[in-house]
């Protein structure tokens, strides 16, 4: 949870080192150490812990200074002499909230810490998940782009073949334009893939703090165990956050109930009179009298109890939502895996075989160049599509394990 304490160490790393490509694990560690949202959440936890120190403490004493029994009528009116009751007074008073209220205040402060820590855990999980997905997206976007560039390179050899056939008179002049048309189509597709690379790099840079974020190494191979994930749903940060909110609501109930118990105050004062008379000392004890609880404290207690009941119901609803989302994600993962297998075992081999046959037919003069080139483009698109499907499977595994599991960088 506090892995971003590594931030000072990473700050000492030269900029050139930060600009180097990152492995999957390195990207997670760097995001955990540099994400501002995590540092903000940690500051929130520290703020709640500082607040808890003062919770349940006695309030500050009250100092009072005044003049008592100053005459405003009769012979001694508006004078300080000649009246035995006029005196300068200085006093101090201390309030003592009832013990139940002080315990409830301490309990509410601890509940606030729990809520802040749960929010930090949720944010840490979100940062890990977003970083992992950004790394995966960049990795596969670059692979798809590289696959398309290989097709572009192969078009150079094809152009040479067409030029040779034109020179021998076995090809029409218009056929010299067909490789260029295919290159234009490939260029459009490359622009799309370059945009995907740029967007994935921007996401990874935002999360890791590296403006030149890049990837290196291979993605992790993660197994998806639905049974094990369902068994640990209750420990997920999202549900622990709802548990913390329910405990905070229960603390509010205790605090509202404590208001039905009387608080009390003790005060003492010293009165200085004319030297002809003696000084005085006073002691007071004040106690609150909650006689009208049915119209004051009880409605507030009922409201807090309703809020606590709502928090517990929201926790139950949250668990159902998580289980439903997990089942949905598992179904998508199974579907994406089947689509990947279909691409690898059927679609790509068929597209490759068709391209080979069409190029052979073109070489034998049985097929026009345009059709042969379209088959070549279809093969490249099949390869790129297979990589997209592989990326979908990898994204599913990352999202499921980092959302419903206990994954750590």
User: pLDDT per position in the chain (409 positions), as tens?
Assistant: 333 333 443 343 444 344 578 999 999 999 999 889 999 999 999 999 999 999 999 999 999 999 888 788 777 777 766 667 788 899 999 999 999 999 999 999 999 999 999 999 999 999 999 999 999 999 999 988 888 777 766 665 555 555 555 555 545 555 555 666 667 777 888 888 899 999 999 999 999 988 888 999 999 888 899 999 998 898 999 999 999 999 999 999 999 999 999 999 999 999 988 777 888 899 999 999 888 888 888 999 999 999 999 999 999 999 999 999 999 999 999 999 999 999 999 999 998 898 888 878 877 777 766 677 777 778 878 888 899 899 999 999 999 999 998 765 4
Rounded CA-CA distance 104/192 in Å is 59
Overall domain count for the chain = 1
Rounded CA-CA distance 40/149 in Å is 43
- What CATH number has the domain bearing residue 125? 1.20.1600.10
Residue 27 maps to a domain: yes
Nearest CA to 269 out of 84, 88, 70 is that of 88
Residue 236 maps to a domain: yes
Residue 266 maps to a domain: no
Rounded CA-CA distance 206/69 in Å is 71
Residue 71 maps to a domain: no
Residue 177 maps to a domain: yes
Nearest CA to 5 out of 27, 33, 25, 30 is that of 33
Residue 65 maps to a domain: no
**194: domain range?**
3-58+117-253+306-404
Residue 135 maps to a domain: yes
Task: Report the DSSP beta bridge partners of residue 224.
Answer: none
> What is the pTM (predicted TM-score) of this model?
0.78
Q: What is the dihedral of CA 349, 352, 353, 357, to 10 degrees?
A: 170
Contact 371, 328 (CB under 8 A): no
Please, what is the Cα angle at 148 between 142 and 150, to 5 degrees?
105
- Per-residue b or e along 111-125, where b marks 16 or more CB atoms closer than 10 Å to that residue's CB: bbbbbbbbbbbbbbb
Sign, CA dihedral 187-192-195-196, equals negative
Contact 271, 88 (CB under 8 A): yes
Residue 281 maps to a domain: no
| DSSP assignment letter at 344 | I
């Amino acid at each position: 949870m506090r892995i971003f304490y590594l931030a000072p160490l990473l700050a000492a790393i030269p900029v050139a080192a930060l600009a180097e490509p990152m492995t999957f694990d390195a990207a997670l560690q760097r995001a955990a150490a540099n994400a501002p949202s995590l540092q903000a959440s940690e500051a929130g936890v520290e703020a709640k812990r500082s607040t808890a120190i003062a919770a349940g403490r006695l309030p500050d004493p009250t100092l009072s200074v005044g003049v008592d029994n100053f005459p405003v009528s009769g012979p001694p009116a508006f004078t300080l002499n000649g009246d035995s009751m006029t005196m300068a007074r200085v006093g101090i008073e201390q309030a003592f909230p009832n013990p139940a209220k002080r315990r409830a205040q301490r309990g509410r402060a601890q509940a606030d810490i729990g809520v802040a820590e749960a929010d930090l855990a949720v944010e840490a999980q979100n940062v890990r998940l977003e970083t992992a997905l950004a790394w995966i997206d960049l990795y596969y976007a670059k692979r798809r782009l590289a696959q398309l560039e290989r097709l572009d390179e192969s078009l150079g050899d094809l152009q040479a073949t067409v030029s040779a056939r034109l020179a021998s008179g076995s090809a029409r002049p218009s056929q010299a334009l067909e490789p260029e048309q295919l290159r234009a189509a490939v260029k459009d597709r490359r622009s799309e893939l370059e945009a995907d690379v740029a967007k994935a790099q921007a996401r990874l840079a935002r999360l890791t703090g590296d403006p030149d974020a890049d990837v290196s190494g291979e993605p992790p191979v993660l197994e998806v165990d639905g049974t094990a994930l369902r068994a640990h749903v209750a420990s997920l940060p999202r549900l622990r956050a709802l548990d913390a909110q329910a405990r905070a609501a229960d603390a509010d109930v205790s605090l509202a109930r404590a208001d039905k118990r009387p608080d009390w105050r003790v005060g003492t004062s010293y009165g200085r009179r004319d030297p002809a008379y003696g000084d005085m000392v006073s002691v007071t004890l004040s106690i609150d009298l909650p006689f009208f609880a049915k119209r004051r404290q009880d409605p507030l207690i009922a409201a807090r109890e309703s809020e606590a009941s709502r928090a517990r119901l929201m926790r139950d609803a949250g668990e159902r939502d998580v289980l439903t989302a997990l089942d949905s994600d598992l179904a998508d993962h199974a579907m994406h895996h089947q689509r990947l297998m279909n691409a690898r075992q059927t679609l790509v081999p068929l597209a490759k075989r068709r391209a080979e046959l069409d190029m052979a037919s073109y070489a034998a003069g049985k097929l026009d160049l345009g059709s042969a080139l379209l088959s070549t483009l279809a093969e490249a698109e099949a390869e790129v599509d297979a990589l997209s499907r592989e990326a979908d499977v990898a994204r599913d595994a990352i999202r499921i394990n980092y959302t419903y599991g206990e994954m750590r960088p």
